[in-house]
């Protein structure tokens, strides 16, 4: 048992070590939709597992309280299907009810939604949890059909370097659980939901862009090169590179990949329709 605990203890340590980055990355859904706790874990085809979240205090509590012993969402990656589950503590899983009650008492978490994305060689798990005031939270998970998925993509792109680094050091399923990882998961009933996002601060940054910069941003969501962008805008490659650098500075982003992700979010939120109707 001691060797299992030692492997689990790395998770809250990773959360704590990357707290500032995770706080910034989850700020939009916290401010706009009241998501107080967000966590992500991934199970690879080869059995490697990574987990990270924006609340190291809860991660430490999770380990100390022994909730990891009854983790129903740790199975071989192919035991899951893409779905979204509302976690309310009233299902058949006593371990989930106990977990949510402890989260309510110790971390002031009242409602949770788990989004599962099954891929060809791995499965992603995204946990969204609200505080007592859940009106904004349910607006996200019920009324905005594309936003949660959009944020999930944003999170992975934003933390791509960190997640790959964690994968290099990731433990195997067999070193985290005593159960047979091939046992089919006994999960709560699934409810299909989806979602949308962007903080007011980021929208303000978007609105301050020039029309040409917005047009450039719009096309960058297509994951195109500076050369391809120059053809679309009928300007030189050097000018395109200048616009891309300007976008990085004005939007406080650090790579073209982050710009592309931000552009896709803006497109989902229909910002471009509002501001570029005379161009597009």
∠ CA 280-268-231, rounded to 5°: 40
DSSP 185: P
Q: In this structure, what token pair is assigned to residue 268?
A: 């989902």
Question: Looking at per-residue confidence, does 6 or 279 come out higher?
Answer: 6
Confidence tier at 36 by pLDDT (50, 70, 90): very high
pTM of the model: 0.64
- pLDDT tens-digit profile of 168-210? 988 888 778 765 544 444 444 433 333 334 556 667 788 888 8
- Which residue from 32, 7, 275, 279 is spatially nearest to 148, judged by alpha carbons? 32
Q: Report domain extents, the chain.
A: 1-175, 200-277
CATH of 1-175, one of 3.40.630.10, 3.40.50.10170, 3.30.450.80, 1.10.579.10: 3.30.450.80
- pLDDT tens-digit profile of 125-177? 999 999 887 778 887 777 665 788 889 999 999 999 999 999 998 888 877 87
- pLDDT tens-digit profile of 80-103? 888 888 876 554 456 677 888 888
Query: Measured between alpha carbons, how far is 189 from 204 in angstroms, rounded to an integer?
Result: 40
- Judged by DSSP in three states, 182 sits in coil
Contact partners, residue 211, CB within 8 Å, separation at least 6 = 275, 276, 279
Confidence tier at 41 by pLDDT (50, 70, 90): very high
Contact 43, 123 (CB under 8 A): yes
Residue with tokens 């450039």: 216
Query: Measured between alpha carbons, how far is 100 from 90 in angstroms, rounded to an integer?
Result: 10
Q: In this structure, what token pair is assigned to residue 108?
A: 């002031």
Contact 194, 42 (CB under 8 A): no
Contact 135, 102 (CB under 8 A): no
Query: Measured between alpha carbons, how far is 225 from 256 in angstroms, rounded to an integer?
Result: 10
- Judged by DSSP in three states, 23 sits in helix
- Judged by DSSP in three states, 67 sits in helix
Q: Is the pLDDT of residue 43 over 80?
A: yes
Contact partners, residue 215, CB within 8 Å, separation at least 6 = 233, 276, 279, 280
Contact 115, 128 (CB under 8 A): yes
Q: Which CATH class is domain 200-277?
A: mainly alpha
pLDDT, mean of residues 33-37: 92
- pLDDT tens-digit profile of 239-273? 988 888 888 888 888 788 888 888 887 777 777 76
């Amino acid at each position: 048992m001691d060797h299992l605990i030692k492997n689990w203890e790395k998770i809250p340590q990773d959360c704590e070590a990357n707290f500032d980055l995770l706080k910034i990355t989850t700020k939009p859904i916290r401010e706009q939709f009241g998501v107080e706790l967000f966590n992500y874990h991934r199970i690879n085809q080869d059995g490697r597992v990574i987990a990270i979240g924006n609340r190291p205090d809860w991660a430490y509590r999770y380990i100390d309280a022994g909730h990891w012993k009854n983790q129903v969402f740790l199975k071989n990656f192919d035991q899951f299907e893409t779905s979204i589950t509302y976690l309310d503590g009233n299902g058949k899983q006593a371990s989930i009810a106990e977990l949510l009650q402890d989260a309510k008492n110790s971390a002031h978490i009242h409602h949770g939604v788990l989004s599962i994305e099954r891929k060809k060689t791995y499965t992603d798990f995204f946990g969204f949890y609200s505080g007592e005031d859940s009106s904004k939270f349910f607006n996200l998970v019920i009324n905005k059909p594309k936003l949660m998925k959009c944020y999930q993509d944003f999170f992975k792109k934003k933390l791509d370097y960190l997640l790959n680094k964690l994968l290099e050091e990731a433990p195997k399923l067999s070193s985290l659980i005593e159960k047979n990882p091939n046992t089919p998961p006994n999960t709560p009933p699934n409810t299909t939901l989806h979602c949308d996002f962007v903080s007011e601060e980021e929208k303000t940054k978007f609105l301050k862009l020039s029309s040409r910069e917005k047009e450039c941003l719009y096309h960058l969501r297509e994951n195109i090169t500076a050369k391809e962008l120059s053809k679309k805008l009928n300007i030189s490659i050097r000018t395109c590179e200048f616009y891309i650098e300007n976008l990085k500075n004005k939007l406080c982003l650090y790579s073209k990949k982050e710009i592309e992700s931000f552009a896709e979010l803006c497109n989902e939120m229909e910002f471009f329709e509002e501001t570029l109707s005379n161009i597009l």
